[in-house]
Amino acid sequence: MTTVESRVAPEVLVKIFTVASKIKLYDEEYRRTIRSGKIGGMYYSPRGQEIIPASFAAVLAPEDYVLTTYRGIHDQIAKGVPLPTLTAEFFGRATGSCKGKGGPMHVTDVSSGLILTTGVVGSGLPIAVGVGLSAQLRKSGQVAVVNFGDGASNIGAFHEALNMASLWNLPVIFACQNNQYAEYTAYSAGTSVDQVAKRGASYTMRSIHVDGNDPEAMYEAARTAVEAARAGQGPTLIEAVTYRFHGHSIGDSMPYMPKEELMAAMDADPVLRLRADLIGARVLTEDQVTAIEDGLRKEIDAAFEYAMAEPLPDAADSMTDVYAEGVAL
Amino acid sequence: MTAQSELTEPATSSERVLSQVQAIHEALDIALATDDRVFELGEDIQDPNGGGFKVHAGFSTKYGLDRVRPTPITEQAIMGAAIGAAITGMRPVPEIMLMNFMAVCADQLINHAAKLRYMSGGQTNVPITVRTVTGAGGGFGAQHSDMLEGPLVHTPGLKVVVPSNPADAKGLLLSSIFDDDPVVFIEMHHLYYSISGSVPEGDYRVPLGQASVVREGSDVTLISWGRQIHDCLAVADTLAADGISAEVLDLRTLVPLDTGAMLSSVAKTRRAVIVHEAVRRNGYGAELAATIGEELFGQLAAPVRRVASTNTPVPYSKPLELAHMPSRDGIEETVRALFK
């Protein structure tokens, strides 16, 4: 497997910190809003996994594609889905990204390249193969990054997709966010290999095992994979090891996660660690960091206020967008 | 199977007569030549074989392996790749070698292809045409013969097409490929070589959602699609000798359904028999019968009847297989009973 070593420019780390903080603050506001009873619905917090998509954000171009899963808000924010329409979609509003028809598990935002969110574990991978194939056939230079969890590496779609992407040398990055748990089951209880990245060898695929909470290593992994894809050197499997702070879904009391393991992970909060590192290395002052965070809070508050005030869809809208316009249901 | 063993439509000097395989081959050729966004992917479709039934013969040589793209035996990746390419601007034509293998990639088809336009609020659409082959009567047994249109018509977002003759096969396939929604195009292999007919030249299209009255009649409407249209036509001939005038309605497109054509025919004849090869229980015939009952209850002279395969897997041995499938005798008996 490829190892990654390099120094990352300070402005890249600031970018990663900014995106990661946006995700962290958004997640905190979202969970607060659910607890307040203002909105209902399921929520799959990405807290703890922010550095992975934030690193991709520092590498990808706006026209590149990202695919994700129901735990995908971090990937959506990092790809640049506008917060007001994203939040309106989560609240089921008529003006949401998907007119309130998709919801958090099915967000698409074509304008920012967030081409698919699937609620089915592993199903995004074969679709990413097609997105990469399309880019290859159109000679567009675009790449596709498909995010999924460690649990998805045990489903057949993972293996079919890796085989085909390797066979056809497609510009696809398979980004496994290994947060150590497939729903309520620990990694080792469900996976026959100690590292998902080792599965890449079966498909002669460039594979990188990386600490997904380490912004320098994660950025280099993302950069290596994206540059290779863009240069026609085919797909990469990245296993980014991370940790899930808030269980499978909101309300999960996490009895299956050892307390000390969870505490240790939260003590090593990757966003706060990067914050401290940037200040410690004098890349940013405390005041500058606070200014970034205040700006993000304002943006997030405005998005939540906007979404809350937006109208719910008309009942008649349930009958549109099944087929192209004019087709009888 | 032997080529063109039974010509159903004799040629006149000005007509081109093609088998269903030739008609489908021609439609694919035209689509590939017309639009760079069209590409095929599927198992074994490349030359020299050009697919199990030679549907793709010559295409990989003519258009290259990028656009006539052989795949491993990997239905989830075939369907997923088609969907991913479709939501980013292409018009893929994936082939699922046999319809039973659709079950292998049902997640991609039912959870994704059918729903992405809706779930994205119309931002993405999935203009794929999934071609697949099936049908009982070939001695292939339970896992290579099923007509599985039932679950597909039950999935909002999919369109479902079953051609019964070469001209429709060409015209419906071209319409499907250039349609902006996902279409499952079901080819019944029994028809590939047994049925020939005159086929228009060029980019000929038959609109989706339009049924066709293939025989006019006044006493009973036989509603069917695909292979069983030919059984209905044969039975209509027999009944005519006894003074029963049967209209035969070929739905051609199961979704969108030409409800108007069906209801106006049955309103005229006041009797309906629905014939399909899929098993009877919860088959599309049940939906059609319910619709006719809801809309025309007071006008019917007899209950709506269904003739379909028995509620078993498709058996292997010939007498068992024939007992399972709808037969011309069974259709005739069912129709005659309506007049007793």
Q: Where are the domains of chain B?
A: 17-198, 212-337
- In this prediction, residues B289-294 reach a mean pLDDT of 98
ipTM: 0.96
Q: For residue range B112-159, list pLDDT tens digits in order.
A: 999 999 999 999 999 999 999 999 999 999 999 999 999 999 999 999
The rounded distance, in Å, linking the Cα atoms of B250 and B234 is: 14
Tokens matching residue A264: 């240790």
Give the pairing of strands B212-215 and B246-250.
antiparallel
β-pairing, A144-149 with A206-211?
unpaired
Residue A318 within a domain: no
Q: Verify whether the Cβ–Cβ distance B85 to A321 is below 8 Å.
A: no
Mutate: best of A98, A118, A160, partner B, most B CBs <10 A: A160
A vs B: CB pairs below 8 A: 153
Is pLDDT of B299 > 50? yes
Q: Which of B84, B122, B125 sits opposite A127 (nearest CB)?
A: B84
Angle between helices A215-230 and A10-35 (to 10 degrees): 110
User: Range of A236's domain?
Assistant: 10-306
pTM of the full structure: 0.96
Q: Which residues are within 8 A (CB) of B13 and not within 5 positions of it... i.e. 6 or more apart?
A: none
> Which residue, among B88, B154, B287, B291, would best test binding to A if mutated, counting the most A CBs under 10 Å from its CB?
B88
Question: In this predicted model, which residue has the larger pLDDT, B107 or B8?
Answer: B107
- CATH, range B212-337: 3.40.50.920
Angstrom CA distances, A271 to A222, A287, B19, stand at: 18, 17, 66
* Spatial distance between the Cα atoms of B85 and A135, rounded to a whole number of angstroms: 8
Which residue type sits at B233? L
The reported pLDDT for the residue numbered B52 is: 85
Q: Which residues lie closer than 8 Å to B340 by C-beta, 6 or more apart?
A: none
pLDDT at B5: 37
Contact A130 B117 (CB under 8 A): no
- A123·B111 Cβ contact <8 A: yes
Nearest Cα neighbor of A175 from A248, A242, A80 is A242
Give the separation between CA B207 and CA B205, rounded to whole angstroms. Answer: 6
C-alpha dist (Å) from residue A211 to A229, A241, B172: 21, 5, 53
Residue A314 resides in a domain:
no
Q: Is B144 a catalytic residue?
A: yes
pLDDT at position B12, please?
54
Answer for the pair B17, B165: CB distance below 8 angstroms, yes or no: no
User: Of B296, B298, B211, which is closest to residue B259 (Cα–Cα)?
Assistant: B211
pLDDT attached to residue B2: 35
Residue A326 neighbours by CB distance under 10 Å? 6
Cα-based distances in Å from A168 to A63, A164, B45: 22, 6, 16
Mean pLDDT of B197-204: 97
> What pLDDT was estimated at residue A2?
53
Per-residue model confidence (pLDDT) at position B4: 36
The pair of three-digit structure tokens given for residue A23, joined into one six-digit string: 């995700």
- Residues 6 or more apart in contact with residue A11 via CB below 8 angstroms: none
Q: Which amino acid is at B240?
A: A
Task: Dig out the tokens for B121 from the structure.
Answer: 């609020």
Residue A206: strand, helix, or coil: strand
Q: Quote the CA–CA distance of A209 and A217 in Å, as a whole number.
A: 10
pLDDT tens digits, one per residue of B11-45:
455 689 999 999 999 999 999 999 999 999 999 99
> Taking each helix axis from N to C terminus, what angle separates A10-35 and A286-309, rounded to the nearest 10 degrees?
40
Does residue B256 have a cis peptide bond before it, meaning omega lies within 30 degrees of 0? yes
At residue B189 the predicted structure's pLDDT band, cuts being 50, 70 and 90, is very high
Nearest to A134 among B77, B90, B179 (CB): B90
| Residue A122: CATH number of its domain | 3.40.50.970
Half-sphere exposure of A112 (CA within 13 A, CB side): 20
Task: Determine the residue type at A291.
Answer: A
Q: Which of residues 163-222 of B touch A (CB under 8 A)?
A: 179-181, 209
Evaluate whether B17-198 and B212-337 have a shared fold.
yes
Name the token pair of B290: 């319910």
- Pick from B79, B124, B209: which is nearest to A110 by CB? B124
> In this structure, what are the phi and psi dihedrals at residue A192, rounded to the nearest 5 degrees?
-85, 0
Q: How far apart are CA B133 and CA B197, in angstroms?
A: 20
Instruction: For B39, list phi and psi in degrees, rounded to 5.
Output: -145, 155
Overall average pLDDT of the B163-182 stretch: 98
Question: Are A144 and A68 contacting, i.e. CB atoms less than 8 angstroms apart?
Answer: no
Q: How many domains does chain A have?
A: 1
Question: pLDDT tens track of chain A, all 329 residues?
Answer: 555 555 899 999 999 999 999 999 999 999 999 999 998 878 999 999 999 999 999 999 999 999 999 999 999 999 999 999 999 999 999 999 999 999 999 999 999 999 999 999 999 999 999 999 999 999 999 999 999 999 999 999 999 999 999 999 999 999 999 999 999 999 999 999 999 999 999 999 999 999 999 999 999 999 999 999 999 999 999 999 999 999 999 989 999 999 999 999 999 999 999 999 999 999 999 999 999 999 999 999 999 999 999 999 999 999 999 999 999 88
Q: Do B121 and A102 touch (CB under 8 A)?
A: yes
Instruction: Give the residue on A whose Cα is nearest the Cα of B77.
Output: A126
Residue A277 lies in a domain: yes
Give the mean model confidence (pLDDT) for residues B96-102. 98
Can you count the helices (H) and strands (E) in chain A?
11, 8
Crossing angle for the helix pair A83-90 and A286-309, nearest 10 degrees? 50
Question: Quick one: fold of B17-198?
Answer: Rossmann fold (3.40.50)
pLDDT on residue A166: 98
Mean pLDDT of B205-227: 98
Count the Cβ atoms, other than its own, within 10 Å of residue B14.
Answer: 6
